[in-house]
């Protein structure tokens, strides 16, 4: 085996090992998903959340005419994905889903308050609530569309 072939083989071996190490390093962390009780816990959370959204005078106008079952399904998928669970949401982007809804920062904050109430009512640990909210927070850029 000539020097070029040995070097090429060595490079290929290092590249394969590095790829394998990288694959292990990016293994999915589902600890947040598990702290919400997995899929069943997220379904219970969304049942409570939807009830609270419809009962809240600030939120009811945004949700009263929505397809409740479809919305709940999308929220479960979204929270599952965001929390590190095995789900993948395939609906419209947040920007597309909220386009034309005239959502202000105050509306967004009110929704977060309702979500926090639901998470507390479902016994979600405070640290897990904060971790989830930190992952959801960047979405405000695509959801808030009215000054």
Q: Which residues are annotated as a binding site for heme?
A: 98
Decide: 47 and 72 in contact? Cβ < 8 Å.
yes
In eight-state DSSP terms, residue 92 is: -
Give Cβ neighbours of residue 145 (< 8 Å, ≥ 6 apart). 95, 98, 99, 100, 101, 102, 103
Question: How far apart are the two ends of the chain, measured CA to CA in Å?
Answer: 69
Annotation: binding site: 98
Q: What share of the chain is helix, strand, coil (3-state, %, to 5)?
A: 70, 0, 30
């Amino acid at each position: 085996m000539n020097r070029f072939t040995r070097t090429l083989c060595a490079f290929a071996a290092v590249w394969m090992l590095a790829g394998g190490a990288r694959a292990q390093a990016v293994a999915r962390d589902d600890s947040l998903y598990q702290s919400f009780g997995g899929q069943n816990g997220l379904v219970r959370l969304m049942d409570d959340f939807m009830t609270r959204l419809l009962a809240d005078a600030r939120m009811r106008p945004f949700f009263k005419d929505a397809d409740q079952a479809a919305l709940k399904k999308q929220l479960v998928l979204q929270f599952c994905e965001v929390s590190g669970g095995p789900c993948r949401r395939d609906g419209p982007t947040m920007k597309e889903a909220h386009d034309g809804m005239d959502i202000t920062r105050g509306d967004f904050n009110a929704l977060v308050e309702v979500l926090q109430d639901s998470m507390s009512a479902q016994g979600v640990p405070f640290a897990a609530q904060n971790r989830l909210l930190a992952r959801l927070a960047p979405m405000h850029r695509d959801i808030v569309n009215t000054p």
